[in-house]
Amino acid sequence: MHLTNEQQGMLQGNEGQAMALAMQTLVKVGKAFGAERLVAIKSAHLAGSFGSSRFKAYLHILDQFVAEGIRVRVPTTVNPRPGRTLGLLNRIVFSRQPWLERQLAQLGVTPNYSCICYDDVNIPALGDRLCWSESSAVQFANSALGARCNRNSVLVDICSAVTGYTPEFGYLMDENRRGQVLVKLQLDRMDPSALGYVLGRRLVNRVPVVEHYDFSRAELKNMGAAMAATGAVSLFHVEGLTPEAPDLQTVFDGEPQDVITIHQADLDSMHESQPQDYDAVVFGCPHLFYEEVIELAEQFAGCRVTKPTYLCTSPAILQRLQAEGMSNVLHQAGVNVVDFCPVAAFTPKRRSRVLTASGKCHCYLHNSEFGMMEACLRVCGART
Ligand code: F3S
């Protein structure tokens, strides 16, 4: 692999042992994937936001960086907190949270604590190279914004954050960003989260091009996150909507490898069939955009929920809602507006049955059921 003088110096330890280790890691990853060089990145986003001693290697690496006074070289954001205050078990499992947050602060990581970093403090432009490790954020950056990012592990991501480089391969290359599978839709009712869930399972890691549908920004987020959870899809296009798919000819650069059709029955098969006695209803995985919270708030205005109901959004949006008095409206309806990651928050409560409209949350959260938005609102007692 070709390295610049600066990169070679880092590798040889000119900037300390921890930096040399970071550079060695990137070079090894690059060689494994056939990269010919390391390229500069615009930003990093770390999925390592849960302070649990189970993540020994990550905590150890952070420790080494901090001990050598290293700071991130590119703007670096971080995923949501794990909902440590939700119960005694959570406080025990995530007992390293305060320590982790101190380490991240010392490294110079922006304390946004949200998986929708691209909504405010870490907004990539078309063509920007990134090293992010949150799969839903990688998906949104690649697909909706046209930035270039592989789906990295947090151990690689942190090395890129401190060096400012990533190996050039995969979705950083033009030839890997073209569409592979054309997805036709035969649907009466669109449910982007369910569609993403089904597509991830069917396509695994191929690049789909969904025929034109006027998805909103939030729908692209929710569909992409589900696709990246049930499969390893890290880039999708929507004909005539996403930046690299102005038309089918351009995005495929020839014929698609495959054509599939998604029918209404495919999506309907995902929805909860038997009404059950749920312990909680969860919205927001990925974190809800401001406009999604406002839309949901209209459904809750003047109601009182009958089940514990959680709206998960970023700390920045939560602050805005508090400043505008909107969180009070939701509070009066009995709704909890929170800024943690629901998947981490509910995991230890093995017996909790959670209903969610998020395909990603359903995929990762033990004992959860997937419901259409209307069903979730009905179950928690909102006006529908
Ligand atoms: Fe975000 Fe946690 Fe879901 S990080 S995408 S809310 S699993």
Mean pLDDT by 10 residues, the chain (384 residues): 98 97 98 98 98 94 97 98 86 94 98 98 98 98 98 96 98 98 97 97 97 98 98 98 97 95 94 74 97 95 92 98 93 95 74 89 90 91 78
Q: What is the number of domains present in the chain?
A: 3
Residue 250 and residue 160 share a domain? no
Residue 208 and residue 93 share a domain? no
Residue 166 and residue 46 share a domain? yes
- Which CATH number do you get for residue 370? 3.30.499.10
342 C-alpha to ligand 1 centroid (Å): 7
pLDDT at 320: 97
- Which of 219, 241, 268 represents a domain boundary (last residue)? 268
pLDDT at 97: 96
- Which of 222, 246, 268 represents a domain boundary (last residue)? 268
Residue 169 and residue 186 share a domain? no
Residue 315 and residue 361 share a domain? yes
**Residue 320: how many other CB atoms lie within 10 Å:** 16
The pair of three-digit structure tokens given for residue 131, joined into one six-digit string: 């090293």
357 C-alpha to ligand 1 centroid (Å): 13
Residue 122 and residue 11 share a domain? yes
pLDDT at 215: 98
Place of tokens 């909107």: 326
Residue 23 and residue 155 share a domain? yes
CA–CA separation, 347 and 367 (whole Å): 9
- Which of 152, 174, 196 represents a domain boundary (last residue)? 174
- State if residue 81 touches ligand 1 by the CB under 6 angstroms criterion: no
pLDDT at 275: 60
CB 80 within 8 Å of CB 341: yes
- State if residue 133 touches ligand 1 by the CB under 6 angstroms criterion: no
Task: Kindly report the pTM of this predicted structure.
Answer: 0.96
CA–CA separation, 200 and 52 (whole Å): 29
Residue 274 lies in a domain: no
Residue 306 and residue 353 share a domain? yes
Expressed as residue numbers, the domain containing 352 is 280-380
pLDDT at 289: 98
Contacts of 43 (CB under 8 A, 6+ apart): 74, 75, 76, 77, 122, 124, 128, 130, 131, 132
Residue 273 lies in a domain: no
CA–CA separation, 134 and 46 (whole Å): 7
Q: Which atom of ligand 1 lies at the shortest distance from residue 80's CA? A: 4
Residue 185 and residue 169 share a domain? no
The pair of three-digit structure tokens given for residue 164, joined into one six-digit string: 């400012």
pLDDT at 87: 81
251 C-alpha to ligand 1 centroid (Å): 29
261 C-alpha to ligand 1 centroid (Å): 28
Report strand pairing: 237-238 vs 165-167. unpaired
CB 369 within 8 Å of CB 273: no
